[in-house]
Amino acid sequence: MSDLPDCPECKEAYTYEDQNLCVCPSCGHEWDKNAIDQEQNVEVIKDSNGNILNDGDTIALAKDLKVKGSSTTLKVGTKVKNIRLVEGDHNIDCKIDGFGAMKLKSEFVNKVM
């Protein structure tokens, strides 16, 4: 069995290597194998328990969080619905009822099943 990927154009499994390229003999498509591998490395965001988070999930805060620039503290167990995952240090973008828009780190939340 070959460890080469299937053709991204026609999905045939008959690809072969030609120097640093992969070539599909069925449709003639050529591509860089390393470029395809890098595209498939999607960052997986996990909560504090190791559960995978997705857009639209409901989460709960795993600890009390002090909000910078405010005297408000978000309490443990506060539920947040319909999260959106973003790139960066604070990788969850959400709206918290009674507070407003907020960015959270995934290591301080738990996924609600």
d(CA 59, CA 37): 31
Q: Which residue has the tokens 């999930």?
A: 57
Low-confidence spans in the chain with pLDDT less than 70: 1-2, 34-42
d(CA 74, CA 68): 11
Residue-level pLDDT at 2: 60
Residue 8's contacts (CB-CB under 8 Å, 6 or more residues apart) are: 29, 31, 36
From the list 23, 16, 12, the residue with the least C-alpha distance to 2 is 16
Q: Which residue has the tokens 């992969």?
A: 22
Residue-level pLDDT at 1: 44
Residue-level pLDDT at 20: 80
Residue-level pLDDT at 18: 86
